[in-house]
């Protein structure tokens, strides 16, 4: 099988950046199971081998691709007819021929398209031309003396090649939101280190298992993706008792998240990551008010990226379905037994710093 791949934003880059990005994309394609060869030429990549389309759909940087056939320009007419016969072109269908061409040729693209179109009409009786909304399409890319024939354009993952933007630590609960947030960063070229906080006994073991399963799903987009797990339950236990004594249980969730941010920052430094990523979205739940996000941001010095900030629950759900994490991530694993009845929606930064100081010196 031969695939023709298109990639988008690379074209906007300076020459050295483009070379680096293309190189990275080619390396990732070569590492796919079944790939026998990868060839790159300005603006296009060809992948040869028994590669399932599902795998190609998960490579960031690929805007779209087409399973195609190669032939020489001298045999184009004959091969186009054979190709369309195999594709089932025929009686009563509408069709269009689309030609693109690079190199020096005595014909223009529209001329070649018209020529091939009338040949197909003579060969397959009852075929009607419809350039607007055809049922069938034959695409022909002519590059010098080489031609590529295809009939389908499959949407790819888009974005930019994985890893070219550097590394981030993702606070990864395995719920619906944070895996989508992690995926969006991958799509923008970031290598991701997913970090899960295990709050048992306040959460069930299923919660951690869910995070592990969701990571496995995302690893299809990000080879080698592995969940980092940190123990968080003992801290929660101690912090809860402390806040309870102070009559400030409403700050439980903020103090909990602030510790996650700090531990996330430590891990980021160890792993050379430049930012944290969370699945927070503005106003989604009590803890995600603008005031509270500010309180959280103050807990660490790295930028905190929140790719879902402007999305609502429905949009995030649609993305999760497209990515393939929805089913696993929406599985009920029980809530957090540490959350207070009435969590603070407008955390007072001053008070929180005081409480943390006291808690830390206990």
Task: Take residue 264 and report the two structure tokens written for it.
Answer: 């996330």
x/- mask, ligand ATP, residues 106-135, rule CB under 6 A, reads ------------------------------
Positions 57 through 96 that interact with ligand ATP (CB under 6 A): none
Residue 173 near Mg ion by CB under 5 A: yes
Q: Applying CB under 5 A, what is the total number of residues that bind Mg ion? A: 2
Is residue 175 near Mg ion by the rule CB under 5 A?
yes
Of residues 161 through 180, those in contact with ligand ATP by CB under 6 A are: 171-173, 175-178
Verify binding: residue 196, ligand ATP, rule CB under 6 A.
Answer: yes
Contact string 254-273 vs ligand ATP (x = CB under 6 A): ------x-------------
Of 191, 228, 280, 328, the residue at the interface with ligand ATP (CB under 6 A) is 280
Query: Which residues does 321 contact at the CB level (< 8 Å), separation at least 6?
Result: none
Element (H, E) at 316: helix 313-323
Binding to Mg ion in span 30-69, by CB under 5 A? none
CA 2, CA 38: separation in Å to the nearest integer?
Answer: 10
Stretch that binds ligand ATP, among 16-24, 56-64, 158-166, 190-198 (CB under 6 A): 190-198
Q: Write down the least CB distance from residue 223 to ligand ATP, Å.
A: 22
Q: Is 252 in the site for ligand ATP (CB under 6 A)?
A: no
Q: Which two tokens stand for residue 362?
A: 């206990």
Q: Which residue, 117 or 175, has its beta carbon nearer to Mg ion?
A: 175
Check: CB of residue 127 under 8 Å from CB of residue 137: no
Closest separation in Å from C-beta 176 to ligand ATP: 4
Helices (H), 172-226: 177-187, 205-218
Least distance in Å: CB of 157 to ligand ATP?
21
Structure tokens at 85: 């016969």
Q: In the complex, what is the shortest distance from the CB of residue 193 to ligand ATP, in angstroms, rounded to a whole number?
A: 12
> 161 to each of 71, 158, 320, how far by Cα in Å?
30, 9, 20
Residue closer to ligand ATP, measured from CB, 28 or 287: 287
**Where are any strands of DSSP class E within the chain?**
2-6, 35-41, 44-49, 64-72, 94-102, 128-129, 136-143, 146-150, 154-155, 166-171, 190-198, 228-231, 275-277, 304-305
- 278, 326, 328, 343: which one binds ligand ATP (CB under 6 A): 278
Cα distance between residue 224 and residue 309, in whole Å: 27
Separation of CA 267 from chain center? 23
- In this complex, which beta carbon is closest to ligand ATP, that of residue 150 or of residue 261? 261
């Amino acid at each position: 099988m031969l695939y023709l791949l298109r990639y988008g934003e690379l074209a906007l880059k300076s020459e050295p950046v483009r070379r680096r990005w293309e190189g990275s994309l080619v390396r990732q394609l070569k590492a796919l199971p079944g790939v026998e060869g990868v060839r790159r030429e300005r603006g296009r990549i060809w992948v040869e081998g028994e590669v399932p389309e599902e795998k190609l759909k998960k490579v960031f940087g690929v805007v779209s691709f087409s399973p195609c056939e190669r032939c020489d320009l001298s045999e184009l007419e004959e091969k186009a007819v054979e190709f369309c016969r195999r594709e089932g072109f025929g009686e009563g269908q509408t069709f269009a021929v689309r030609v693109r061409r690079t190199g020096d040729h005595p014909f223009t693209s529209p001329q070649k398209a018209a020529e091939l179109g009338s040949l197909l009409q003579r060969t397959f009786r009852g075929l009607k031309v419809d350039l607007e909304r055809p049922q069938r399409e034959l695409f022909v890319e002519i590059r010098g003396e080489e031609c590529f024939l295809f009939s389908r354009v499959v949407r790819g993952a888009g974005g930019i090649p994985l890893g070219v933007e550097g590394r981030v630590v993702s606070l990864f609960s395995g719920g619906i939101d944070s895996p989508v947030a992690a995926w969006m960063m991958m799509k923008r070229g970031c290598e991701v280190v997913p970090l899960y906080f295990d709050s048992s006994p306040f959460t069930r073991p299923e919660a951690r298992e869910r995070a592990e399963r969701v990571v496995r799903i995302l690893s299809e987009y990000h080879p080698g993706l592995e969940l980092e797990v940190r123990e968080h339950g003992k801290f929660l236990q101690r912090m809860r008792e402390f806040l309870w004594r102070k009559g400030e249980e409403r700050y439980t969730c903020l103090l909990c998240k602030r510790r996650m941010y700090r531990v996330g920052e430590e891990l980021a430094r160890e792993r050379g990551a430049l930012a944290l990523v969370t699945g927070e979205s503005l106003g989604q739940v009590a803890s995600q008010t603008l005031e509270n996000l500010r309180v959280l941001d103050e807990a660490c010095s790295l930028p905190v990226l929140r790719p879902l900030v402007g999305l609502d629950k429905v949009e995030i759900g649609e993305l999760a379905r497209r990515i393939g994490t929805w089913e696993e991530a929406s599985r009920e694993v029980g809530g957090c037994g540490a959350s207070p009845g009435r969590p603070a929606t407008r955390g007072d930064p001053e008070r929180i710093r005081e409480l943390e100081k006291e808690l830390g010196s206990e």
